[in-house]
């Protein structure tokens, strides 16, 4: 039995959807690798990767195969039972990282919610009720729940929802002295993105993360790394903390971990995990067989020397060409980032106009992203072919040329 498909168009969005998004004027209907087709059959090169999610592009055979096979076996049993894909994926994550225990959930916000709750619970259990303060970075982004927007250092996302969760302090990113001044014996956690994603694709300085680790050790606080955007190969390492050689106590992962299937994970040690005993925290869908089967296929493909080395090689391709475009047209003051999470910082003349670059690129058949109003962001598939990189950057250059002429 087939379900009848009613024709829809972009205008329907404004009639039936809550207006919290302003999607592009076209509707993508099919994807293959790093190419996407819209309703009219127009083809675009995808440099957005579903906001750093489609780590293996669209319709990757390993992911399609894993999902199809699992869909014919078992979809959902809840956490009243465990399941084989969840146990296999957890074992692979433990074997590949600092972690000894894994908690599966459905989104980056949920992974961070679990991380922040765990940090407060550990401090409560070991040191009492007064140790609950969290220190985070200005301009950070950790999700959209009330707790995670409160920890994220962007008032535009947290204002207007009533009283905020208390005990959260924000300090400038990459400012170790400010961090030292903020951390005390009341601090239960320091929360940082190794690469600030939404805040402008800004990598941490090594000394900053090393200093954060030292401060946490001195004050019996936990170091939490939000690797929702930087994780699962995106930095050229499986996780960005490996690039820095600084190990967190808790790590959150989402986006790329499911390759497009909604899933997330919080990773931590056995000693800390004990504080989330039976009934303390949970989720109905977290770790369901469909998500974990796909996640297992993702890690099997991504966590290989060929793919991770390829990410670094592709970074150089992007960077060299984007720097050239930036200089030729006077639009970028800096091209920064790691692996295939790249931010082009707009020059003073173009500050605040990242959306114009997004629109111009779309008109030339290439999908890009913003990271705030002043940074153009690229987060393509980690296995994007060089031919697609070159074609997409040709299109992007045409867009920039037209934009600057206009």
Q: Please tell me the predicted confidence (pLDDT) of residue 348.
A: 97
Mean pLDDT computed over 91-113:
98
In the predicted structure, residue 3 carries a pLDDT above the cut 80: no
Report pLDDT digits (tens) over 373-395. Answer: 999 999 999 999 999 999 999 99
368 φ, ψ to 5°? -125, -175
Q: How confident is the model at residue 4 (pLDDT cuts 50, 70, 90)?
A: confident
What domains sit in the chain, N to C, each tagged with a CATH number?
10-60+305-405 (3.90.1150.10), 62-302 (3.40.640.10)
pTM above 0.75, yes or no: yes
The sign one gets for the Cα dihedral 75, 78, 79, 82 is negative
Q: Kindly report the CA angle at 39 between 318 and 392, in degrees rounded to 5?
A: 10
The sign one gets for the Cα dihedral 143, 144, 147, 150 is positive
Q: Please tell me the predicted confidence (pLDDT) of residue 1.
A: 64
Measured CA to CA, the distance from residue 270 to residue 255 in angstroms comes to 24
Q: Please tell me the predicted confidence (pLDDT) of residue 11.
A: 93
- As a whole-number percent, the residues of the chain with pLDDT over 70 amount to 100
In the predicted structure, residue 280 carries a pLDDT above the cut 70: yes
Beta bridge partners of 334: 345
Report pLDDT digits (tens) over 135-174. Answer: 999 999 999 999 999 999 889 999 999 998 999 999 999 9
- Give Cα separations from 86 to 260, 288, 314, 322, 342 (angstroms): 17, 7, 32, 40, 32
Q: Is 331 left (phi over 0), alpha (psi -120 to 50) or beta?
A: alpha
Mean pLDDT computed over 224-236:
98
Q: How many CA atoms lie within 13 A of 369 on its CB side?
A: 23
Report pLDDT digits (tens) over 240-270. Answer: 999 999 999 999 999 999 999 999 999 999 9
Mean pLDDT computed over 83-100:
98
Q: Using an 8 Å Cβ cutoff, are 148 and 203 in contact? A: no
Show the beta-strand stretches assigned E in 34-81. Answer: 35-38, 43-46
Beta bridge partners of 335: 344
Q: Please tell me the predicted confidence (pLDDT) of residue 68.
A: 98
User: What is the DSSP code string of 76-104?
Assistant: ---TTS--HHHHHHHHHHHHHSS-SEEEE
Q: List all residues 6 or more positions away from 237 whose beta carbon is below 8 Å from its beta carbon.
A: 243, 308, 339
Q: Please tell me the predicted confidence (pLDDT) of residue 366.
A: 98
Q: What is the 3-state secondary structure (H, E, C) of 263-311?
A: CEEEEECHHHHCCCCCCCCCCCCCCCHHHHHHHHHHHHHHCCHHHHHHH
Name the H helices within 154-288. Answer: 155-158, 176-182, 206-218, 240-244, 270-273
Report pLDDT digits (tens) over 188-216. Answer: 999 999 999 999 999 999 999 999 999 99
- pLDDT mean across residues, the chain: 97
Measured CA to CA, the distance from residue 4 to residue 162 in angstroms comes to 43
């Amino acid at each position: 039995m087939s379900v009848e498909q009613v024709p829809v168009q972009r205008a329907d969005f404004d009639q039936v959807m809550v207006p919290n998004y302003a999607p592009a004027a076209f509707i993508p209907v099919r994807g293959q690798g790093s190419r996407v087709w819209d309703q009219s059959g127009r083809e675009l090169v995808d440099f957005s990767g579903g906001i750093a999610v489609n780590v293996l592009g669209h319709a990757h055979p390993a992911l399609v195969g894993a999902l199809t096979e699992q869909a014919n076996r078992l979809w959902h049993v809840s956490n009243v039972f465990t399941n084989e894909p969840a146990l296999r994926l957890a074992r692979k994550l433990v074997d590949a990282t600092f972690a000894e225990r894994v908690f599966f959930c459905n989104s980056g916000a949920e992974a961070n919610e679990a991380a922040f709750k765990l940090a407060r619970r550990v401090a409560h259990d070991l040191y009492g009720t007064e140790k609950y303060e969290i220190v985070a970075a200005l301009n950070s982004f950790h999700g959209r729940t009330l707790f995670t927007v409160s920890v994220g250092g962007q008032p535009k996302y947290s204002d207007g929802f009533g009283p905020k969760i208390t005990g959260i302090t924000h300090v400038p990113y990459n400012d170790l002295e400010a961090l030292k001044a903020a951390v005390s014996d009341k601090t239960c956690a320091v929360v940082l993105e190794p690469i600030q994603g939404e805040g402008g694709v800004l990598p941490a300085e090594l000394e900053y993360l090393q200093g954060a680790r030292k401060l946490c050790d001195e004050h019996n606080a936990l170091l939490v790394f939000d690797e929702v955007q930087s994780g699962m190969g995106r930095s050229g390492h499986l996780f960005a903390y490996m690039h820095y050689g600084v190990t967190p106590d808790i790590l959150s992962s989402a986006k790329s971990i499911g390759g497009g299937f909604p899933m997330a994970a919080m990773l931590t040690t056995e000693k800390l995990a004990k504080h989330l005993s039976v009934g303390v925290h949970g989720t109905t869908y977290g770790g369901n067989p469909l998500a974990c089967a796909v996640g297992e296929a993702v890690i099997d493909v991504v966590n290989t020397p060929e793919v991770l080395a390829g990410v670094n090689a592709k970074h150089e391709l992007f960077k060299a060409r984007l720097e050239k475009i930036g200089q030729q047209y006077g639009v970028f003051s800096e091209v920064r980032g790691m692996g295939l999470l790249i931010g082009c910082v707009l020059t003073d003349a173009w500050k605040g106009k990242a959306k114009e670059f997004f629109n111009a690129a779309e008109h030339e058949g290439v999908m890009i992203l913003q990271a705030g109003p002043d940074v153009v962001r690229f987060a393509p598939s980690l296995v994007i072919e060089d031919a697609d990189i070159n074609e997409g950057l040709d299109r992007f250059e045409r867009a920039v040329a037209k934009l600057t002429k206009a």
